[in-house]
A and B are shown apart, each in its own frame.
Chain A
Amino acid sequence: MPNRRWCEELTEHPLRIVLAKLGFDGHDRGIKVVARMLRDVGFEVIYLGLRQSTDTVLAAAEQEDADAVGLSIHNGGHMTLAPRMVNTLREAGVGIPVVVGGIVPAVDVPLLLEEGVAAVLGPGASAAEVGETIRSAVEAARADVD
Protein backbone atom coordinates (compact mmCIF):
# COMPACT_ATOMS: atom_id res chain seq x y z
CA MET A 1 0.00 0.00 0.00
CA PRO A 2 1.60 3.30 -1.03
CA ASN A 3 2.68 5.51 1.85
CA ARG A 4 1.18 8.53 0.23
CA ARG A 5 -2.32 7.23 0.81
CA TRP A 6 -1.83 7.24 4.54
CA CYS A 7 -0.60 10.80 4.49
CA GLU A 8 -3.66 11.86 2.57
CA GLU A 9 -5.89 10.05 5.00
CA LEU A 10 -4.26 11.96 7.78
CA THR A 11 -5.81 15.14 6.52
CA GLU A 12 -9.08 13.60 5.37
CA HIS A 13 -10.18 11.89 8.58
CA PRO A 14 -10.43 13.28 12.07
CA LEU A 15 -7.47 12.29 14.22
CA ARG A 16 -8.32 10.01 17.13
CA ILE A 17 -6.61 10.52 20.48
CA VAL A 18 -6.92 8.57 23.74
CA LEU A 19 -6.86 10.92 26.76
CA ALA A 20 -6.11 9.50 30.19
CA LYS A 21 -4.69 10.05 33.62
CA LEU A 22 -2.53 7.26 34.99
CA GLY A 23 -2.61 5.95 38.52
CA PHE A 24 -3.48 8.10 41.53
CA ASP A 25 -3.85 11.59 40.17
CA GLY A 26 -7.21 13.07 40.97
CA HIS A 27 -7.03 16.43 39.26
CA ASP A 28 -9.19 15.95 36.19
CA ARG A 29 -10.23 19.51 35.51
CA GLY A 30 -7.40 20.02 33.02
CA ILE A 31 -7.98 16.85 31.04
CA LYS A 32 -11.65 17.74 30.65
CA VAL A 33 -10.76 21.16 29.32
CA VAL A 34 -8.24 19.62 26.92
CA ALA A 35 -10.82 17.07 25.74
CA ARG A 36 -13.17 19.90 24.91
CA MET A 37 -10.37 21.91 23.23
CA LEU A 38 -9.44 18.97 21.03
CA ARG A 39 -13.06 18.35 20.12
CA ASP A 40 -13.28 21.97 19.05
CA VAL A 41 -10.26 21.69 16.76
CA GLY A 42 -11.70 18.60 15.10
CA PHE A 43 -10.26 15.65 17.02
CA GLU A 44 -12.15 12.54 18.03
CA VAL A 45 -11.31 12.23 21.70
CA ILE A 46 -11.57 8.83 23.33
CA TYR A 47 -11.87 9.93 26.92
CA LEU A 48 -10.70 7.45 29.54
CA GLY A 49 -10.38 9.88 32.44
CA LEU A 50 -9.09 9.00 35.88
CA ARG A 51 -7.23 6.03 37.38
CA GLN A 52 -6.08 4.30 34.23
CA SER A 53 -3.11 1.98 33.89
CA THR A 54 -0.65 1.76 31.01
CA ASP A 55 -2.41 -1.49 30.05
CA THR A 56 -5.90 0.04 29.86
CA VAL A 57 -4.51 2.90 27.77
CA LEU A 58 -2.73 0.44 25.47
CA ALA A 59 -5.93 -1.63 25.09
CA ALA A 60 -7.92 1.49 24.23
CA ALA A 61 -5.28 2.70 21.77
CA GLU A 62 -5.34 -0.65 19.97
CA GLN A 63 -9.09 -1.16 19.88
CA GLU A 64 -9.84 2.43 18.98
CA ASP A 65 -7.06 2.55 16.36
CA ALA A 66 -5.92 5.79 17.97
CA ASP A 67 -3.42 8.12 16.33
CA ALA A 68 -2.00 9.42 19.62
CA VAL A 69 -2.11 9.10 23.40
CA GLY A 70 -2.46 12.17 25.60
CA LEU A 71 -1.53 11.91 29.27
CA SER A 72 -2.53 14.53 31.79
CA ILE A 73 -0.22 14.47 34.80
CA HIS A 74 -0.49 16.70 37.86
CA ASN A 75 0.96 14.59 40.64
CA GLY A 76 4.67 14.92 39.88
CA GLY A 77 4.81 11.35 38.59
CA HIS A 78 5.59 12.32 35.01
CA MET A 79 9.18 11.03 35.06
CA THR A 80 7.93 7.56 35.99
CA LEU A 81 4.53 7.40 34.27
CA ALA A 82 5.23 8.93 30.88
CA PRO A 83 8.28 6.80 29.97
CA ARG A 84 6.38 3.73 31.18
CA MET A 85 3.56 4.56 28.78
CA VAL A 86 6.01 5.11 25.92
CA ASN A 87 7.62 1.73 26.59
CA THR A 88 4.30 -0.10 26.93
CA LEU A 89 3.24 1.13 23.50
CA ARG A 90 6.65 0.39 22.00
CA GLU A 91 6.73 -3.14 23.36
CA ALA A 92 3.30 -3.78 21.85
CA GLY A 93 4.51 -2.41 18.53
CA VAL A 94 2.06 0.49 18.58
CA GLY A 95 3.91 3.33 16.89
CA ILE A 96 1.87 6.30 18.04
CA PRO A 97 3.12 9.38 19.89
CA VAL A 98 2.62 10.09 23.60
CA VAL A 99 1.97 13.74 24.42
CA VAL A 100 2.11 14.91 28.04
CA GLY A 101 0.13 17.81 29.45
CA GLY A 102 -0.01 19.22 32.96
CA ILE A 103 2.47 20.49 35.50
CA VAL A 104 5.97 19.52 34.42
CA PRO A 105 9.02 21.51 35.63
CA ALA A 106 11.01 22.96 32.73
CA VAL A 107 14.10 20.96 33.68
CA ASP A 108 12.19 17.71 33.19
CA VAL A 109 10.95 18.52 29.69
CA PRO A 110 14.16 17.62 27.80
CA LEU A 111 14.44 14.45 29.91
CA LEU A 112 10.92 13.39 28.92
CA LEU A 113 11.61 14.09 25.26
CA GLU A 114 14.74 11.97 25.57
CA GLU A 115 12.61 9.15 26.97
CA GLY A 116 10.50 9.19 23.83
CA VAL A 117 7.66 11.51 24.81
CA ALA A 118 6.68 13.40 21.64
CA ALA A 119 5.79 16.73 23.24
CA VAL A 120 5.05 18.37 26.58
CA LEU A 121 2.33 20.99 26.91
CA GLY A 122 2.02 23.27 29.91
CA PRO A 123 -0.79 25.35 31.35
CA GLY A 124 -1.93 28.20 29.14
CA ALA A 125 -1.51 26.38 25.84
CA SER A 126 -4.27 27.41 23.45
CA ALA A 127 -6.57 24.96 21.72
CA ALA A 128 -4.89 25.66 18.40
CA GLU A 129 -1.45 25.06 19.92
CA VAL A 130 -2.50 21.80 21.56
CA GLY A 131 -4.12 20.59 18.32
CA GLU A 132 -1.15 21.59 16.19
CA THR A 133 1.38 19.99 18.53
CA ILE A 134 -0.47 16.68 18.46
CA ARG A 135 -1.03 16.84 14.73
CA SER A 136 2.70 17.34 14.08
CA ALA A 137 3.58 14.56 16.51
CA VAL A 138 1.25 12.20 14.64
CA GLU A 139 2.74 13.20 11.30
CA ALA A 140 6.26 12.68 12.60
CA ALA A 141 5.37 9.25 13.99
CA ARG A 142 3.74 8.20 10.71
CA ALA A 143 6.79 9.33 8.75
CA ASP A 144 8.89 7.21 11.12
CA VAL A 145 6.80 4.08 10.59
CA ASP A 146 6.66 4.49 6.83
Chain B
Amino acid sequence: MTREPAELFKAACGGDRRATGRLLSLVERGGADGDLVAQIAWPKTGGAHVVGVTGAPGVGKSTLVDRMAAAAIAEGGRVAILAVDPSSPLTGGAILGDRVRMNSALGAPAGKSPFIRSMASRGQSGGLALAALGAVRVLDAVGHDPIIVETVGTGQVEVDVVNAADTVVVAVSPGWGDAVQANKAGLLELADVFAVNKSDRPGAADARRDLELMLDLGDHPDWRPPIVETTATAGEGVEALWKHVCSHRLHLLETHSLEARRGGRAAEEVRRHLHNRIDGLIARPSEQVRQLIREVTEGLRPPSEAAQTILRSQPPGDSP
Protein backbone atom coordinates (compact mmCIF):
# COMPACT_ATOMS: atom_id res chain seq x y z
CA MET B 1 0.00 0.00 0.00
CA THR B 2 2.82 2.39 0.73
CA ARG B 3 4.90 1.62 -2.36
CA GLU B 4 6.84 4.49 -3.89
CA PRO B 5 5.70 5.97 -7.22
CA ALA B 6 8.76 4.73 -9.15
CA GLU B 7 8.24 1.20 -7.90
CA LEU B 8 4.52 1.39 -8.67
CA PHE B 9 5.28 2.61 -12.17
CA LYS B 10 7.60 -0.30 -12.89
CA ALA B 11 4.99 -2.76 -11.67
CA ALA B 12 2.26 -1.02 -13.68
CA CYS B 13 4.33 -1.26 -16.88
CA GLY B 14 4.61 -4.99 -16.20
CA GLY B 15 0.82 -5.26 -16.19
CA ASP B 16 0.12 -4.94 -12.45
CA ARG B 17 -3.32 -3.38 -12.52
CA ARG B 18 -3.37 -2.64 -8.85
CA ALA B 19 -0.23 -0.56 -9.24
CA THR B 20 -1.85 1.32 -12.13
CA GLY B 21 -4.90 1.91 -9.97
CA ARG B 22 -2.77 3.35 -7.20
CA LEU B 23 -0.81 5.60 -9.60
CA LEU B 24 -4.07 7.01 -10.90
CA SER B 25 -5.13 7.87 -7.33
CA LEU B 26 -1.87 9.72 -6.77
CA VAL B 27 -2.34 11.71 -9.97
CA GLU B 28 -5.93 12.43 -9.05
CA ARG B 29 -4.92 13.77 -5.65
CA GLY B 30 -2.23 16.00 -7.10
CA GLY B 31 0.40 17.42 -4.78
CA ALA B 32 4.02 16.31 -4.65
CA ASP B 33 3.33 12.61 -5.29
CA GLY B 34 1.08 13.44 -8.22
CA ASP B 35 3.80 15.63 -9.72
CA LEU B 36 6.33 12.87 -9.24
CA VAL B 37 4.11 10.34 -11.03
CA ALA B 38 3.58 12.82 -13.88
CA GLN B 39 7.33 13.26 -14.15
CA ILE B 40 7.99 9.52 -14.28
CA ALA B 41 5.24 8.91 -16.81
CA TRP B 42 5.99 11.82 -19.10
CA PRO B 43 8.87 10.38 -21.18
CA LYS B 44 6.82 7.33 -22.07
CA THR B 45 3.67 9.12 -23.22
CA GLY B 46 2.38 10.08 -26.65
CA GLY B 47 2.00 6.64 -28.17
CA ALA B 48 -1.64 5.97 -27.42
CA HIS B 49 -4.62 6.95 -29.51
CA VAL B 50 -6.79 8.96 -27.13
CA VAL B 51 -10.47 8.82 -28.04
CA GLY B 52 -12.96 11.11 -26.29
CA VAL B 53 -16.61 10.15 -26.17
CA THR B 54 -19.23 12.63 -25.08
CA GLY B 55 -22.93 13.36 -25.35
CA ALA B 56 -25.94 14.14 -23.22
CA PRO B 57 -26.88 11.88 -20.27
CA GLY B 58 -28.70 8.76 -21.39
CA VAL B 59 -27.65 8.62 -25.04
CA GLY B 60 -25.72 5.42 -24.37
CA LYS B 61 -22.14 6.59 -24.07
CA SER B 62 -21.00 3.91 -21.64
CA THR B 63 -22.49 1.12 -23.70
CA LEU B 64 -20.91 2.56 -26.86
CA VAL B 65 -17.56 2.83 -25.10
CA ASP B 66 -17.89 -0.75 -23.92
CA ARG B 67 -18.56 -1.97 -27.45
CA MET B 68 -15.80 0.12 -28.97
CA ALA B 69 -13.41 -1.29 -26.40
CA ALA B 70 -14.42 -4.80 -27.44
CA ALA B 71 -13.75 -3.90 -31.09
CA ALA B 72 -10.35 -2.48 -30.20
CA ILE B 73 -9.47 -5.56 -28.13
CA ALA B 74 -10.40 -7.78 -31.07
CA GLU B 75 -7.76 -5.89 -33.06
CA GLY B 76 -5.19 -6.56 -30.36
CA GLY B 77 -5.42 -3.27 -28.49
CA ARG B 78 -4.57 -2.94 -24.79
CA VAL B 79 -7.56 -0.81 -23.99
CA ALA B 80 -8.02 1.56 -21.08
CA ILE B 81 -11.23 3.42 -20.31
CA LEU B 82 -11.50 6.53 -18.17
CA ALA B 83 -15.10 7.34 -17.26
CA VAL B 84 -15.68 10.73 -15.66
CA ASP B 85 -18.87 11.39 -13.69
CA PRO B 86 -19.93 14.43 -11.68
CA SER B 87 -19.53 14.68 -7.90
CA SER B 88 -22.34 16.06 -5.80
CA PRO B 89 -21.50 19.69 -5.14
CA LEU B 90 -23.19 19.37 -1.74
CA THR B 91 -21.50 16.35 -0.22
CA GLY B 92 -18.53 15.68 -2.51
CA GLY B 93 -19.82 12.14 -2.96
CA ALA B 94 -20.51 10.52 -6.31
CA ILE B 95 -22.12 7.47 -7.84
CA LEU B 96 -19.84 6.20 -10.56
CA GLY B 97 -22.08 3.91 -12.54
CA ASP B 98 -20.38 3.57 -15.90
CA ARG B 99 -18.83 0.21 -15.11
CA VAL B 100 -22.30 -1.33 -14.95
CA ARG B 101 -22.54 -0.99 -18.73
CA MET B 102 -19.09 -2.25 -19.43
CA ASN B 103 -19.32 -6.00 -19.46
CA SER B 104 -18.95 -7.07 -23.07
CA ALA B 105 -15.18 -7.42 -22.88
CA LEU B 106 -15.25 -9.24 -19.55
CA GLY B 107 -14.98 -12.56 -21.31
CA ALA B 108 -11.72 -11.49 -22.93
CA PRO B 109 -8.70 -13.57 -21.96
CA ALA B 110 -6.84 -12.52 -18.84
CA GLY B 111 -4.79 -9.40 -19.37
CA LYS B 112 -6.80 -8.47 -22.48
CA SER B 113 -9.88 -7.12 -20.75
CA PRO B 114 -9.95 -3.32 -20.62
CA PHE B 115 -8.56 -1.42 -17.67
CA ILE B 116 -11.51 0.67 -16.48
CA ARG B 117 -11.21 3.60 -14.12
CA SER B 118 -14.05 5.79 -12.90
CA MET B 119 -13.26 9.33 -11.90
CA ALA B 120 -15.44 11.78 -10.02
CA SER B 121 -15.17 15.45 -10.86
CA ARG B 122 -14.65 16.22 -7.15
CA GLY B 123 -15.97 19.71 -7.66
CA GLN B 124 -12.65 21.34 -8.53
CA SER B 125 -13.13 23.56 -11.52
CA GLY B 126 -9.75 23.32 -13.20
CA GLY B 127 -8.64 20.32 -11.20
CA LEU B 128 -10.71 17.74 -12.98
CA ALA B 129 -9.25 18.51 -16.36
CA LEU B 130 -5.75 18.27 -14.93
CA ALA B 131 -6.49 15.07 -13.05
CA ALA B 132 -8.12 13.47 -16.08
CA LEU B 133 -5.33 14.49 -18.45
CA GLY B 134 -2.80 13.26 -15.90
CA ALA B 135 -4.64 9.95 -15.67
CA VAL B 136 -4.63 9.58 -19.46
CA ARG B 137 -0.85 10.14 -19.45
CA VAL B 138 -0.32 7.44 -16.84
CA LEU B 139 -2.49 4.97 -18.74
CA ASP B 140 -0.56 5.80 -21.92
CA ALA B 141 2.83 5.50 -20.24
CA VAL B 142 2.14 2.08 -18.75
CA GLY B 143 1.29 0.77 -22.21
CA HIS B 144 -2.42 1.19 -22.88
CA ASP B 145 -3.53 1.95 -26.44
CA PRO B 146 -6.18 3.05 -27.26
CA ILE B 147 -7.45 5.06 -24.30
CA ILE B 148 -11.13 5.93 -24.35
CA VAL B 149 -12.26 8.86 -22.20
CA GLU B 150 -15.97 9.25 -21.51
CA THR B 151 -17.60 12.38 -20.08
CA VAL B 152 -21.05 13.85 -19.95
CA GLY B 153 -20.87 16.76 -22.33
CA THR B 154 -22.25 19.34 -19.96
CA GLY B 155 -20.02 22.06 -18.66
CA GLN B 156 -16.81 23.57 -19.85
CA VAL B 157 -14.55 21.25 -17.91
CA GLU B 158 -16.01 18.12 -19.45
CA VAL B 159 -15.69 19.69 -22.86
CA ASP B 160 -12.05 20.47 -22.13
CA VAL B 161 -11.36 16.89 -21.12
CA VAL B 162 -12.86 15.49 -24.26
CA ASN B 163 -11.29 18.12 -26.42
CA ALA B 164 -7.90 16.93 -25.27
CA ALA B 165 -8.49 13.67 -27.14
CA ASP B 166 -7.01 12.95 -30.56
CA THR B 167 -10.39 11.85 -31.86
CA VAL B 168 -13.70 13.07 -30.45
CA VAL B 169 -16.86 11.00 -30.82
CA VAL B 170 -20.09 12.85 -30.08
CA ALA B 171 -23.04 10.58 -29.41
CA VAL B 172 -26.64 11.68 -29.95
CA SER B 173 -29.87 9.70 -29.98
CA PRO B 174 -33.07 10.04 -32.01
CA GLY B 175 -35.18 12.91 -30.78
CA TRP B 176 -32.20 14.77 -29.32
CA GLY B 177 -33.10 18.02 -31.08
CA ASP B 178 -33.46 19.48 -34.50
CA ALA B 179 -31.48 21.41 -37.07
CA VAL B 180 -31.64 24.55 -34.98
CA GLN B 181 -30.10 22.79 -31.99
CA ALA B 182 -27.51 21.33 -34.30
CA ASN B 183 -26.42 24.76 -35.39
CA LYS B 184 -26.06 26.13 -31.90
CA ALA B 185 -22.46 26.44 -30.93
CA GLY B 186 -21.13 23.84 -28.56
CA LEU B 187 -20.42 20.20 -28.26
CA LEU B 188 -21.30 19.29 -31.80
CA GLU B 189 -18.52 21.47 -33.13
CA LEU B 190 -15.98 19.26 -31.42
CA ALA B 191 -16.98 16.06 -33.17
CA ASP B 192 -14.63 14.18 -35.43
CA VAL B 193 -17.13 11.34 -35.67
CA PHE B 194 -20.86 11.30 -34.87
CA ALA B 195 -22.70 8.30 -33.48
CA VAL B 196 -26.48 8.34 -33.76
CA ASN B 197 -27.08 5.76 -31.06
CA LYS B 198 -30.34 3.92 -30.34
CA SER B 199 -30.84 4.00 -34.10
CA ASP B 200 -33.42 1.22 -33.82
CA ARG B 201 -35.78 3.85 -32.46
CA PRO B 202 -37.96 6.12 -34.57
CA GLY B 203 -36.31 9.37 -35.57
CA ALA B 204 -32.84 8.04 -36.34
CA ALA B 205 -33.06 9.15 -39.96
CA ASP B 206 -34.15 12.63 -38.88
CA ALA B 207 -31.26 12.87 -36.45
CA ARG B 208 -28.84 11.96 -39.24
CA ARG B 209 -30.42 14.45 -41.64
CA ASP B 210 -30.14 17.28 -39.10
CA LEU B 211 -26.49 16.52 -38.51
CA GLU B 212 -25.83 16.32 -42.26
CA LEU B 213 -27.52 19.70 -42.73
CA MET B 214 -25.37 21.17 -40.00
CA LEU B 215 -22.23 19.77 -41.57
CA ASP B 216 -23.28 21.03 -45.03
CA LEU B 217 -23.23 24.57 -43.71
CA GLY B 218 -19.75 24.24 -42.29
CA ASP B 219 -16.37 24.09 -43.90
CA HIS B 220 -14.56 20.75 -43.74
CA PRO B 221 -11.53 21.06 -45.98
CA ASP B 222 -9.90 17.77 -45.14
CA TRP B 223 -12.14 15.81 -42.76
CA ARG B 224 -15.89 15.86 -42.78
CA PRO B 225 -17.08 14.11 -39.61
CA PRO B 226 -18.78 10.88 -40.62
CA ILE B 227 -22.14 10.00 -39.09
CA VAL B 228 -22.61 6.40 -37.99
CA GLU B 229 -25.86 4.85 -36.87
CA THR B 230 -25.42 2.53 -33.92
CA THR B 231 -27.46 0.38 -31.58
CA ALA B 232 -24.87 -0.11 -28.89
CA THR B 233 -26.90 -2.53 -26.77
CA ALA B 234 -26.97 -4.95 -29.73
CA GLY B 235 -23.49 -4.03 -30.89
CA GLU B 236 -24.85 -2.88 -34.24
CA GLY B 237 -22.86 -0.31 -36.15
CA VAL B 238 -20.14 -0.22 -33.51
CA GLU B 239 -17.53 -1.86 -35.72
CA ALA B 240 -18.20 0.74 -38.40
CA LEU B 241 -17.96 3.45 -35.75
CA TRP B 242 -14.63 2.12 -34.51
CA LYS B 243 -13.36 1.94 -38.13
CA HIS B 244 -14.14 5.64 -38.58
CA VAL B 245 -12.40 6.44 -35.30
CA CYS B 246 -9.30 4.60 -36.50
CA SER B 247 -9.37 6.25 -39.94
CA HIS B 248 -9.54 9.61 -38.22
CA ARG B 249 -6.35 8.76 -36.39
CA LEU B 250 -4.79 7.70 -39.70
CA HIS B 251 -5.95 10.95 -41.24
CA LEU B 252 -4.29 12.92 -38.42
CA LEU B 253 -1.04 11.06 -38.98
CA GLU B 254 -1.11 11.37 -42.79
CA THR B 255 -1.80 15.08 -42.70
CA HIS B 256 0.71 15.63 -39.89
CA SER B 257 -2.03 17.32 -37.92
CA LEU B 258 -1.72 15.12 -34.81
CA GLU B 259 1.29 17.08 -33.64
CA ALA B 260 -0.44 20.37 -34.35
CA ARG B 261 -3.47 19.24 -32.37
CA ARG B 262 -1.41 18.14 -29.42
CA GLY B 263 0.80 21.23 -29.56
CA GLY B 264 -2.22 23.50 -29.28
CA ARG B 265 -3.26 21.70 -26.15
CA ALA B 266 0.14 21.79 -24.51
CA ALA B 267 -0.06 25.54 -23.97
CA GLU B 268 -3.55 25.14 -22.58
CA GLU B 269 -2.40 22.49 -20.13
CA VAL B 270 0.52 24.57 -18.92
CA ARG B 271 -1.89 27.44 -18.42
CA ARG B 272 -4.10 25.22 -16.29
CA HIS B 273 -1.20 24.12 -14.14
CA LEU B 274 -0.15 27.71 -13.61
CA HIS B 275 -3.70 28.65 -12.79
CA ASN B 276 -3.98 25.84 -10.26
CA ARG B 277 -0.80 26.89 -8.53
CA ILE B 278 -1.76 30.52 -8.34
CA ASP B 279 -5.16 29.51 -6.98
CA GLY B 280 -3.32 27.50 -4.35
CA LEU B 281 -1.35 30.56 -3.25
CA ILE B 282 -4.60 32.25 -2.25
CA ALA B 283 -6.54 29.17 -1.09
CA ARG B 284 -3.70 28.10 1.22
CA PRO B 285 -1.99 31.42 1.91
CA SER B 286 1.46 31.70 3.44
CA GLU B 287 2.11 34.27 6.17
CA GLN B 288 3.58 36.60 3.56
CA VAL B 289 0.47 36.34 1.40
CA ARG B 290 -1.80 36.91 4.41
CA GLN B 291 0.20 39.98 5.33
CA LEU B 292 -0.02 41.37 1.79
CA ILE B 293 -3.77 40.81 1.71
CA ARG B 294 -4.10 42.60 5.05
CA GLU B 295 -2.14 45.51 3.63
CA VAL B 296 -4.45 45.68 0.61
CA THR B 297 -7.47 45.57 2.92
CA GLU B 298 -6.06 48.43 4.97
CA GLY B 299 -5.45 50.47 1.86
CA LEU B 300 -1.68 50.39 2.22
CA ARG B 301 -1.06 49.12 -1.30
CA PRO B 302 -3.03 48.30 -4.43
CA PRO B 303 -4.01 44.65 -5.19
CA SER B 304 -1.99 44.60 -8.40
CA GLU B 305 1.19 45.44 -6.51
CA ALA B 306 0.49 42.73 -3.94
CA ALA B 307 0.01 40.22 -6.74
CA GLN B 308 3.27 41.29 -8.34
CA THR B 309 5.09 40.89 -5.01
CA ILE B 310 3.65 37.40 -4.51
CA LEU B 311 4.66 36.28 -8.00
CA ARG B 312 8.20 37.65 -7.60
CA SER B 313 8.73 35.84 -4.32
CA GLN B 314 7.69 32.38 -5.57
CA PRO B 315 10.52 29.92 -5.07
CA PRO B 316 10.99 27.69 -8.12
CA GLY B 317 9.71 24.14 -7.87
CA ASP B 318 7.39 24.89 -5.00
CA SER B 319 4.26 22.85 -5.48
CA PRO B 320 1.14 24.00 -3.65
A88 CB to closest chain B CB, in angstroms? 13
Q: Does A95 contact B (CB under 8 A)?
A: yes
Given contacts A1-B4, A47-B100, whether A38 and B93 have CB atoms under 8 Å apart is: yes
Q: In terms of DSSP, what is the predominant structure of the interface of chain B?
A: mixed
Most B-side CB within 10 Å, residue of A6, A45, A94, A146: A45
- CB atoms of B122 and A14 under 8 A apart: yes
A3 touches which one: B2, B96, B116, B122 (CB < 8 A)?
A: B2
B9 CB to closest chain A CB, in angstroms? 15
Give complex CA distance A92, B120 in Å: 26
* Residues 78-119 of B at the A interface (beta carbon under 8 Å): 87-88, 91-97, 99-100, 106, 113, 115-118
- Quick one: CB contact mask for A54-70 with B, threshold 8 Å, 1 for yes? 00100110111100000
Given contacts A63-B20, A65-B22, A95-B1, whether A41 and B91 have CB atoms under 8 Å apart is: yes
- CB atoms of B97 and A47 under 8 A apart: yes
A-B interface pairs (CB < 8 A), number: 86
Given contacts A47-B97, A145-B1, whether A64 and B92 have CB atoms under 8 Å apart is: no
B41 CB to closest chain A CB, in angstroms? 16
Q: Does B17 contact A (CB under 8 A)?
A: yes
A43 touches which one: B21, B93, B117 (CB < 8 A)?
A: B93
- CB atoms of B120 and A14 under 8 A apart: yes
Given contacts A3-B2, A95-B1, A145-B1, whether A64 and B117 have CB atoms under 8 Å apart is: yes
- CB atoms of B116 and A44 under 8 A apart: no
Which chain A residues border B116 with CB–CB below 8 Å? 60, 63-64
A129 CB to closest chain B CB, in angstroms? 16
- CB atoms of A41 and B93 under 8 A apart: yes
Given contacts A47-B99, A63-B115, whether A1 and B92 have CB atoms under 8 Å apart is: no
A34 CB to closest chain B CB, in angstroms? 11
Q: Does A112 contact B (CB under 8 A)?
A: no
Which chain B residues border A48 with CB–CB below 8 Å? 99-100
Given contacts A63-B115, A64-B21, whether A6 and B1 have CB atoms under 8 Å apart is: yes
Q: Report the contact-size class of chain B (Cβ under 8 Å from the partner).
A: 20 to 34
Q: Does A84 contact B (CB under 8 A)?
A: no
A101 CB to closest chain B CB, in angstroms? 16
Give complex CA distance A1, B7 in Å: 12
- CB atoms of A62 and B94 under 8 A apart: no
- Quick one: CB contact mask for A13-50 with B, threshold 8 Å, 1 for yes? 11000000000000000000001101111111111110
Q: Does B25 contact A (CB under 8 A)?
A: yes
Given contacts A39-B91, A40-B88, A42-B91, whether A13 and B99 have CB atoms under 8 Å apart is: no
- CB atoms of A44 and B93 under 8 A apart: yes
Given contacts A14-B94, A47-B95, A47-B99, whether A64 and B1 have CB atoms under 8 Å apart is: no
Which chain B residues border A65 with CB–CB below 8 Å? 18, 21-22, 24-25
Q: Does B29 contact A (CB under 8 A)?
A: yes
Give complex CA distance A93, B2 in Å: 13
- Quick one: CB contact mask for A84-108 with B, threshold 8 Å, 1 for yes? 0000000011110000000000000
15 of the cross-chain contacts (CB-CB < 8 Å) are A39-B95, A41-B93, A42-B92, A44-B120, A46-B99, A47-B95, A49-B100, A60-B116, A63-B17, A63-B21, A63-B117, A64-B96, A64-B117, A142-B1, A146-B1
Which B positions have Cβ atoms within 8 angstroms of A?
Answer: 1-2, 4, 17-18, 20-22, 24-25, 29, 87-88, 91-97, 99-100, 106, 113, 115-118, 120, 122
